[in-house]
Amino acid sequence: MTETSTPPAADALDTPTDSGDGPDLGLQWLAPAHRAAPAEALQRIRLICELNPELFGALMTVLCTYQGLRHELLAAAVKNFRRDLDAYSAEDVVGLLRACWNGGWQGFDAVLRTRRNRDGRVTGGLSWVKSDD
């Protein structure tokens, strides 16, 4: 490949692959400078949530796809499309997104466990710890 030739991936970014109805399914939306319209972003987030059965996978994919959006906006969108997040507040979902982004699976799992057990129960199998009941 010479320095003046265009890499094949760049050509793919300029080539739309859809028929015109719905969001552009070409690769242009993956470009770092691309800013998706809200309706287009919501449709993609909905598809991501439907196609990823595991919560961690869905959250990580949304985070990686829309790195430029604030976590609060992503949390609101994901909460709309994931029924397993109904029990969590918007603030909890933001915490899960941040945990995924900063700590990967381990961070996600730790925050998820604390959100599930925040009613004051002792967790972690520490049988010698007594609660103040």
For 66-89, how does the pLDDT look when each residue is reduced to its tens digit (9 = 90+)?
Answer: 888 899 999 999 999 999 999 889
Structure tokens at 22: 């719905």
Q: Estimate to the nearest angstrom the gap between the alpha carbon of 82 and the chain centroid.
A: 11
Sign of CA dihedral 39, 43, 44, 48: positive
Q: Give the pLDDT band of residue 32 (cuts 50, 70, 90).
A: low
Q: How far apart are CA 13 and CA 31, in angstroms?
A: 8
Q: Above 50 in pLDDT, residue 6?
A: no
0.85 exceeded by the pTM?
Answer: no
Q: Estimate to the nearest angstrom the gap between the alpha carbon of 69 and the chain centroid.
A: 11
Place of tokens 């507040």: 89
Contact yes or no for 64/104 (Cβ under 8 A): no
Express each pLDDT in 93-127 by its tens digit.
999 999 999 988 888 888 888 887 775 544 444 44
The count of residues in the chain is 133
| Per-residue pLDDT, 21 | 55
Return the minimum-mean-pLDDT range out of 5-19, 40-54, 79-93, 115-129.
5-19
Q: How far apart are CA 9 and CA 89, in angstroms?
A: 40
| Per-residue pLDDT, 35 | 78
Exposure on the CB side of residue 99, measured as CA atoms within 13 A: 20
Structure tokens at 61: 């994919």
